[in-house]
Structure 1
């Protein structure tokens, strides 16, 4: 299973993003492949939050368009919605302590715990994920997978 970080999905859907072409190619291969894709609500709702932001100017999409994108993902046979386990918060805080990171990386630590709990490889263009011990991590924009 792979767990894509929000940044890759935003790059894949925003033609104005620098790494758009590579991210789009990676995402197309992922959704058309056989490997499961885990999507926590934080990722899908984060996509809606940022993709519809007025701060993006002309690159922003409507809520209806973002909703359609997310619905399309959730309809894919390889996609699984990942839900937090009962001890998710405790695991996130413990991982942050082990990694020696501050609250600024709490969201990243949460995604890392989702990935570890589901034996998934977290895919991101954010190098901060290398700080989390025990996490399987790859940057598909740099690595060939």
Structure 2
């Protein structure tokens, strides 16, 4: 199962984002191959926070626009609703400690823990996920 990072979700949403085409091409191909994906709640919250922030995007989305996108994504047949795995917090703690996480890497550690608990692959544009030993990562590039 693919676990999407917030930068991939933002790129899918923002048609003028520099990574939109890469993210969209990957997403269409993955869904076309029947690959399943999930988005942890922390990623959805981060997505809505970012795309509605006028300091992050000159033309910020409204909450309703962002939420409509969330609803459209979760209705995809290959989407799996993220349910916290009993090992997710333990994986988060182990990965966070090993990577000496602080700041933004703490959230990345949690996303990594979510993926690791399910044996999934983090899909991201963020090179920081390389810091988590043994984690399966698909790093998209533009």
Give the TM-score taking structure 2 as reference length: 0.88
Q: Match for residue 57 of structure 1?
A: 58
Which ranges in structure 2 are unaligned for 5 or more consecutive residues?
none
Count of residues in Structure 1 that have an aligned counterpart in Structure 2: 141
Shift of 1:87: 4.9
Contact between 1:8 and 1:125, CA under 8 Å: does it hold in 2?
Answer: yes
Q: Match for residue 9 of structure 1?
A: 9
Contact between 2:121 and 2:137, CA under 8 Å: does it hold in 1?
Answer: yes
Contact between 2:44 and 2:70, CA under 8 Å: does it hold in 1?
Answer: yes
Coordinate RMSD, CA, aligned: 1.8
**Deviating more after overlay: 83-92 vs 61-70:** 83-92
Q: Match for residue 135 of structure 1?
A: 135
1:1-145 equivalences under 5 Å are 1-55=1-55, 56-58=57-59, 60-141=60-141
Residues 87 and 121 of structure 1: CA distance in aligned 2, closer, same or farther (over 3 Å): closer
Which ranges in structure 1 are unaligned for 5 or more consecutive residues?
none
Shift of 1:31: 3.8
Give the TM-score taking structure 1 as reference length: 0.86
Residues 31 and 67 of structure 1: CA distance in aligned 2, closer, same or farther (over 3 Å): farther
